[in-house]
A and B are shown apart, each in its own frame.
Chain A
Amino acid sequence: MIALLASLLEQGDGGSTDARVVVYRVSLFIASMLFLVGLRMLTNPETARRGMQLAVVGMVLGVLGTLVHREIVNYWWIIGGLVVGTVIGVPMGLLIPMTKMPERIALSHAGGGLAVALVGVAEYIGGHVHGRFAMGAISFEVLMGAITFTGSLMAFGKLAEILPGKPMTFGGQNALNFILLGGAVVAMIAMVLSPQLSWLFYVLVGISLLLGILLVLPIGGADMPVVICLLNSYAGLAASASGLALDNNVLIICGALDGGSGLILALIMAKAMNRSFTNVLFGAFGSDATAAAGGAGKGGNVREGTVEDAAELLKIAQNVIIVPGYGMAVAQAQHATRDLANAMSANSTNVKYAIHPVAGRMPGHMNVLLAEANVPYDQLYELDAINDEFQRTDVAIVVGANDVVNPAAKTSPGSPIFGMPILNVDQAKAVIVLKRSMKPGFAGIENELFVLPQTMMVFGDAKSTLGKISSAMKGGGH
């Protein structure tokens, strides 16, 4: 690397190339490449960790390279920020439980949005924005950054249940949002035409902050995966805009990667729910389309079983598929689930896990929880990979999943979830559903699965129920 730097320096004509500028530019270039290679290595669980380590090297290089920049004259504010950030960031990263991952991701999007928005505001106030294009990019950056900031705080509040998870709606809500969005666009255009209108800039900041709150307000808990992904995407787009305005390629590249990944994940989530973006973002309006939990509704013939009944059924089963859902995360039942799977494996039963793309509150939520409980990842199957196997399965165990196994998605065109791809749990020879109670959830979508003749409901806290089934299996001998 030193040789490379030296050769670049020699090419500098007439000594106009400052060594520090070269170090800055080259380190950011290397950082960008390391991020790309690291991301590529993240496509395989075998190489993922090494990929991440490459990205860490890239980040350190980028920061060190920037610190030698000629414009930096005062290091105290920098040191203060770095120390505060590290003191908060490290314990947060180390201590947060895996079940709280959606909250933590939402919170970090808020931090990312805030950082980018502040960069935009400071660049504008400091008079470092030159030209109409840069002004447009900065305005866009501030808009997206501020929406991400307040929107993610709202998402965090809903996930952490500080705010009610239900969609919050009021008359004229969508109209108000469109007016505000229109106002923001008009303000952006006006800023490009006359960049000196600083009051307008602050109006834009204010509208953006308000928009973030209002856009997430009507979105229910079960739709959070899509929202988190979209906010991820917004944060990325804001960073790219900032890179365009500041002529900084590493920002453009990282922003594009972040924006792209958020968008792809949001598309996957929306597809897995058979919903369009517009429906997710504005559909909660006066409807009950969002469903975190449902009940059997009109109380068909529910067959309730004891843990002993469940254990007897599992003892004779050859093939078992476990279907986890958000309820498993709420009950923190991932370890108990693994224990039961181990007990069954010891009984030479073949155990697999079926993971629906929208099970849980964020993409990959179930996978992370089961990995935490030491479930080998080659036992985790995606929807398409396992759906044909249910008909050959003796017992399917549903742990806190509801909508993703609701046959109404296939059979009743009137259902809000009709058309959503579901796991074919209803095709298994027997189904055990672990659920807290028969009480319908706030959305109250009926789930025919619970009243099928082959379904046995075992009520109670999933964690303790699973534990009791495991010990009943072990206690009963073979």
Chain B
Amino acid sequence: MTIDHILAGLYVFSLAAFLGYQIISKVPQLLHTPLMAFTNAISGISLVASLLIAGRESKSLLIPVLGAIAVASATINVVGGFVITDRMLKMFKKKGAAK
């Protein structure tokens, strides 16, 4: 890993953290629980790393097994997180809005 790679990664992290801070500060208290469920679902993107581990060629069986467990845990978060966020967001209605 070269210094360029490392710095590029740190750039991305810093900018994303700054942007995330700006955006998330604007989320009203009303939506804080859906926000947690949502960020939980998208952090399930660690799935992409788990997929590589589970599917990569490997001499030992341990690695794909660890990968498969990671895939399953991340999938529970992604799928469950999105389903539950949607269920919650569907419930938030303004006065007079149809049931």
Contacts and interface: CB of A to CB of B under 8 A. Distances in A.
Interface in A364-395: 364-365, 367-368, 371-372, 374, 376-380, 382
A451 interface: no
A365 B31 CA distance: 9
Interface string B16-41: 11011101111111111111111111
B29 A367 contact: yes
Contacts of A363: 29, 32-33, 35-36
Interface in B6-24: 6, 9-10, 12-13, 16-17, 19-21, 23-24
A55 B40 contact: no
Given A59-B45, A59-B82, A115-B50, A77 B29 contact: no
Residue from A112, A122, A229, A255 whose CB has the most chain B CB atoms within 10 Å: A122
Query: Sorted from nearest, which 3 A-B pairs have the closest CB atoms?
Result: A85-B75, A81-B71, A93-B83
A80 to B, nearest CB: 5
Interface in B43-81: 43-58, 60, 62-81
28 contacts: A55-B42, A63-B51, A71-B52, A85-B74, A89-B75, A93-B87, A105-B33, A105-B36, A108-B80, A109-B40, A115-B44, A122-B63, A123-B49, A126-B56, A236-B39, A243-B9, A248-B49, A252-B9, A258-B40, A261-B24, A261-B36, A261-B39, A262-B39, A264-B24, A355-B29, A372-B91, A379-B95, A382-B28
A85 B64 contact: no
Contacts of A105: 33, 36-37, 40
Interface string A192-232: 00000000000000000000000000000000000011001
Given A122-B63, A243-B9, A362-B36, A108 B27 contact: no
Interface string A106-137: 00110110111011011101100011011000
Contacts of B97: 376
B10 to A, nearest CB: 7
Contacts of A63: 47-48, 51
A371 B91 CA distance: 5
Interface size class for chain A?
35 or more
Given A77-B54, A105-B37, A133-B6, A112 B46 contact: yes
Interface size class for chain B?
35 or more
B47 A115 contact: yes
A363 B30 CA distance: 9
Contacts of A379: 95
B79 A252 contact: no
Interface string A236-264: 10011011101111111111111111101
A232 B40 contact: yes
Contact of B89 (A43, A49, A122, A380): A49
B92 A371 contact: yes
Nearest to A377: B92
B9 A247 contact: yes
Nearest to A243: B9
A86 interface: yes
Contacts of A94: 83, 87
B71 A82 contact: yes
A58 B69 CA distance: 23
Contact of A66 (B52, B81, B83): B52
B37 A377 contact: no
A55 B82 CA distance: 9
Contact of B43 (A28, A71, A112, A229): A112
B45 A254 contact: yes
Nearest to A134: B1
A246 B77 contact: no
B40 to A, nearest CB: 5
Contacts of B58: 126
Contact of A90 (B27, B46, B83): B83
B77 A250 contact: no
B32 A367 contact: yes
